[in-house]
Structure formats: structure tokens, C-alpha cells
Amino acid sequence: MSATPNNLDAYWMPFTANRAFKAAPRMMVAAEGMHYTTGDGRKVLDGTAGLWCCNAGHARPKIVEAISRQAREMDYSPAFQMGHPKAFELASRLVRLMPGALDHVFFTNSGSESVETALKMAIAYHRLNGQGERVRLIGRERGYHGVNFGGMAVGGMTANRKMFGSLVTGVDHMRHTHGDPRNFFAKGEPEFGAELADDLERLCTLHDPSTIAAVIVEPVQGSAGVFVPPKGYLKRLRETCDRHGILLIFDEVITGYGRLGTPFAVDYFGVEPDIVTTAKGLTNGVIPMGAVFVQKKIHDAFMQGPPNAVEFFHGYTYSANPMACAAALGTLDTYAEEGLLTRGASLAGYWADAAHSLNDISIVADIRTLGLIAGIELRSIDGKPTARAFDAYLKCFAAGLLVRTTGDIIALSPPLIVEKAQIDEIFDTIRTVLQQVA
């Protein structure tokens, strides 16, 4: 296989400036540990764990072995009215990672599908409880919950919504939590703004809380640019949901599987939602898979009616696909052996100090960090929003570092195996590049 295909036309690339890419392609052809290899043979340090998903780094032996073995043993088995042992083993192991009552798992193939699944579960749950009028869904400005219709509707990123019609009805959004200058350059959770959670109370008054099925938030907003919730904010959301019988959904597609230095954001913030959506780090990004964790009360509400009836009319051909289950089990083994689900906690201080050392650069407007995530917000060039960050992205790539940008924000989320010397390398490279794009 050639690293330089001679025709780039047919492939319509996702979330990509297709014409610009095809005029100057950037190809990845191999990956191992903390590094990619490019088509022209350069090593690139992975500052983003792929797309927030390769939490154990690349080409990890346990995962490679697990999927090779599984491909020989059994490639696929029907997902409906049939089971295979690894699906049950995986679910049992996953719920042990979750606190409290989050003791059942439904499998999907992506974060987007996990979100759709969770929203459908929430609406159906209320209906099963005799509250069929609870159909409204509340999201948040700047939220990202994938690209399917439900997730798009509850999401709050304008560009992801405006082209696609009227979406799902009965959806509203809370205010986002970003913008208080007193919180700029905060390490960890910012001090100010817990009261922004009261925006949910406002929406309850507006719509009548008995019409609201669920509230969905990312515990830390990722895609829109790394927005860490103010201290006490998530607890306050939980309290409001409890007061009004509304289900709380945490979308942990990014924060799950060790990203914050705890297995899940649920642990980090000490707030227990009713449903948790995950994907990405579940299989280390190797095979597509998502998992939705639900509280017992939700699962049990479905387990009624004739025992031979399907309880939840939902599922995917590839729910609990055997290859995906094998990848997930190999991933959990790797996480356990290397302590990766909590390793971020021991590096978070070093990581934050390194990120915040960029605060003397004139074009840096804000720096936000939590666990092994960082967002570096740049001052936009007048009349050219996003241009400066994208220029920095290209220059970092040329200098051997993969970062991710959204708007004029550089987002970082390295594999959890990152070493201190590599953290230094990440921020030294970014410093040099930011001086070039200033």
C-alpha cells in the first residue's frame, strides 16, 4: 500500500476542509506508543490521543492480541435475540468501574449513538412510569453531543446545527459557563459561576418541569474548546434535576476512561447522574464502540410486560460486536495493568504548570486545564476567526506535534501514558509556534 495515493477525489472527508486538505494532504501511515508516523516518514508526537480516544497510546500489545484472536475465533454474531460471552464479561467489568447504582450497560458504536440511545431511554423511562408528558430535552450552549439528530438538537455549537433544518422539537438550552474574566487562566475548576446552573431552574419555570425528560451536559465541555465547569456547578444541576424529577445525563465521551485522572468525571466531581454516555477510550479508539451506563431504576422500569416481549425497541447491528468487545477487554486490561485510569491524577499538576507557563505570550487570551486536558485560547486575528489557531495547527504538525483546534482554541489531550519529558516537548513546541503566529 502506498503512503501517497494518486487520487484523493472519491473520499468525502468528515469535519474536514476537503479542498484545502486535498491541495496539501497530511497522511498518517503508522502509530506506536505516543507517536504517529506520517506518509513522508516523520515521527509526530500525539498531543490529542488521536481524537480524544487512544487513551492507552497506540499499537498496545494486549489490544492487538485480543482483536487478532477474536477475528480468528468468531468475527460476528447476531446482536438481537442472541448473545456471546465477551459482551456479558465486558458489561460486568465496566459496571464495576462505575459508582453506585449505574449498574447496567447498553452497547452502541459511537458517541453519537450513545447520546441518541440515552435520550430515547430517558423519554421512554418517564412514559413507562406514567409520565408520558415528559418529552422535553435540555442541553447547553457550546455543548457537543455528536452529529445525529437528537445529539445535534441538544448540542449547542451553531455550525453543527444551522444547515440541518428544524431538528428535534421540544429542546431548549442552558447558558454556557464560559466568559467570566475572573476565571481566565484558572488551573482546574474555576471559582466563579456555580449559579449559572440556576439557568436550569429558569427553563423549568418557562416550560413547566413536568414536561422535561432529561438534561444532558458534558461534565467538561470538550469539542467547543475545553470549558471546565465552575466549582459546585454540576452538584447544583443534580439538585435541580432531583427537585423536579428530571433525569441527568453526563456525556462522558471525552471525560470517560481516565482523562481527568479518575476513571470517569462522575468520580472527579462526586456527582452521580442517572445515565452516562461513553465511547472513544472504551476501546482505545481501535474498534468503534460506545457504552451507555444507566441506573438500575431505569433498567428495571423497562423490565415489565410479558417476559417474551422485547423491552426496549432499540439497538444496532453492531451492538456488542465481538471484535469491539475484544478490543474493549484488551483496553481495560491495559488500563488496569498500567494504572492508566488514575495515572492522570499524578501528572495533572505538572501538566497544568506546563500549560500555564504559556501565559506570558501576548496572543494567549486564556488557558484552561483539568486532568490531562488543556485548552489554550488565542486572540483571533481581526476579521479572520480561526485562522491563527489553524496556522498554529499546521506549524505544530510540521514541527512534529499533533494538536487539535476548534475556533481559535488549541485543545490538548495526550494519551495517558505521556511522560513528563513529552509534556515538556508539547508545550515547548507550542511556545515556539505561538511566537511564530503572533
CB 388 within 8 A of CB 363: yes
Among all residues, whose Cβ is closest to ligand PXG?
111
Min CB(131)–ligand PXG separation in Å: 26
Min CB(216)–ligand PXG separation in Å: 9
Q: Which is nearer to ligand PXG, 108 or 422 (CB)?
A: 108
Min CB(280)–ligand PXG separation in Å: 6
Min CB(303)–ligand PXG separation in Å: 28
Q: Which is nearer to ligand PXG, 172 or 251 (CB)?
A: 251
Q: Which is nearer to ligand PXG, 286 or 301 (CB)?
A: 286
The pair phi, psi for residue 63, each rounded to 5°, is -75, -45
Q: Which is nearer to ligand PXG, 90 or 402 (CB)?
A: 402
CB 216 within 8 A of CB 119: yes
Instruction: Give burial (CB, 10 Å; 0-12/13-18/19+) of 85.
Output: exposed
Residues making contact with ligand PXG (CB under 6 A): 51-52, 110-112, 115, 144-146, 218, 222-223, 251, 253-254, 279, 404, 406, 411
Min CB(256)–ligand PXG separation in Å: 9
Instruction: Please report how many Cα atoms fall inside a 13 Å half-sphere around the Cα of residue 209, on the Cβ side.
Output: 15
DSSP 8-32: -SS---TTS-HHHHHHS---EEEEE
Beta-carbon count within 10 A of 251 CB? 32
How would you classify residue 194: left for phi > 0, otherwise alpha for psi between -120 and 50, otherwise beta? alpha
Beta-carbon count within 10 A of 328 CB? 30
Min CB(225)–ligand PXG separation in Å: 8
Q: Which is nearer to ligand PXG, 174 or 204 (CB)?
A: 174
Grid coordinates representing 159? Answer: 455550525
Q: Which is nearer to ligand PXG, 115 or 171 (CB)?
A: 115
Local structure of residue 192 (DSSP, 8 states): S
Min CB(146)–ligand PXG separation in Å: 3
Q: Which is nearer to ligand PXG, 254 or 378 (CB)?
A: 254
Q: Which is nearer to ligand PXG, 111 or 258 (CB)?
A: 111
| CA distances, 419 to each of 57, 245, 323, 393 (Å) | 12, 45, 30, 22
Min CB(393)–ligand PXG separation in Å: 11
Paired sense of beta strands 35-38 and 401-402, if any: unpaired
Q: Which is nearer to ligand PXG, 112 or 369 (CB)?
A: 112
- Nearest C-alpha neighbor of 249 from the set 268, 272, 269: 272
Min CB(108)–ligand PXG separation in Å: 9
DSSP 80-125: SS---HHHHHHHHHHHHHS-TTEEEEEEESSHHHHHHHHHHHHHHH
